[in-house]
Amino acid sequence: MALPRGQRTDDYGSEVGFPHTTEGAVAMLAAANTSAIEGSTSNKDEQLRLYYSYIGKPDQSEAAAERVELGAIDNGKVIAREMGLKPGAPMPPGAYMRSHVIGFQFIRRSAEEVTVWLLAREVQKSGEMAQEEGSYTRTLLGAQWQGDDWKLSVLATRHAQDATDGKPRPKMAAPGDAAFNAAGWTAIREAS
């Protein structure tokens, strides 16, 4: 599926203003789970950008933003150590950690709330001459239509958790693999 693009870029550099359709909700969820830590952009910078751009206003607070910031700092140190880099130091040329959504599965969908499983590919490289390493992640999320855009919602995510409680999680596989289709994923194609 080719997902629609947001209509504008917000003050944080994030694509927002997705259409009021189920595809628009998936596009926002994919954007909210796409990140790039490289150059001068730290994990903290990226996580705060995602928080302020995509978390719905009812779920935002100073305390929540502080938890995101502190968690991102700690996680950034773990990422640096895993890559053999010094925590807190700028990434060397050619180093990066990127995540992008490659597939999804609807759990429930309505005009005001969409819940999904997202399948993402995470890749990291510790420098220009290093080999890229990658893995897959699977995330359960919910979006609600709030005002004029889709936003990540704690309540919608709880609805997704309730709907999938006791059910097996979909298997992770690469698009194009028979296991990808057998697990029920829909591949995301980049919009032109």
The verdict on pTM exceeding 0.75 is yes
CA atoms of 185 and 174, how far apart (whole Å)? 10
Average pLDDT over residues 12-24: 97
pLDDT, tens only, 42-81: 899 999 999 999 999 999 999 999 999 999 999 888 888 8
What integer pLDDT is reported at residue 190 of this predicted model? 66
Would you state the pLDDT for residue 80?
84
Could you report the per-residue pLDDT of 123-167, keeping only the tens digit for each? 999 889 999 999 999 999 999 999 999 999 999 999 999 999 999
User: Is a pLDDT exceeding 90 seen at residue 179?
Assistant: yes
Whole-number pLDDT of residue 26: 97
Domain boundaries of the chain, sorted by first residue = 8-187
Residue 192 gets which letter from DSSP?
A: -
Of all residues in the chain, the percent with pLDDT exceeding 70 is: 98
Task: State how far Cα 34 lies from the chain centre.
Answer: 4
Q: Averaging pLDDT over each range in 39-43, 111-115, 130-134, which range is the top one?
A: 111-115
170, 185 Cβ separation under 8 angstroms:
yes
Q: What is the pLDDT of residue 81?
A: 86
Q: Which of 36-40, 43-47, 67-71, 103-107 reaches the highest mean pLDDT?
A: 103-107
Q: Is the pLDDT of residue 182 over 90?
A: yes
pLDDT, averaged across the chain: 93
State the amino acid at position 161 in one-letter form.
Q
Does 30 or 77 have the greater pLDDT score?
30
Is the pLDDT assigned to residue 35 strictly greater than 90?
yes
Share of the chain above pLDDT 90, in %: 82
pLDDT value at position 191?
Answer: 57
Q: Mark out the alpha helices in 58-144 (DSSP H runs).
A: 62-82
Q: What is the largest CA-CA distance in the chain?
A: 48
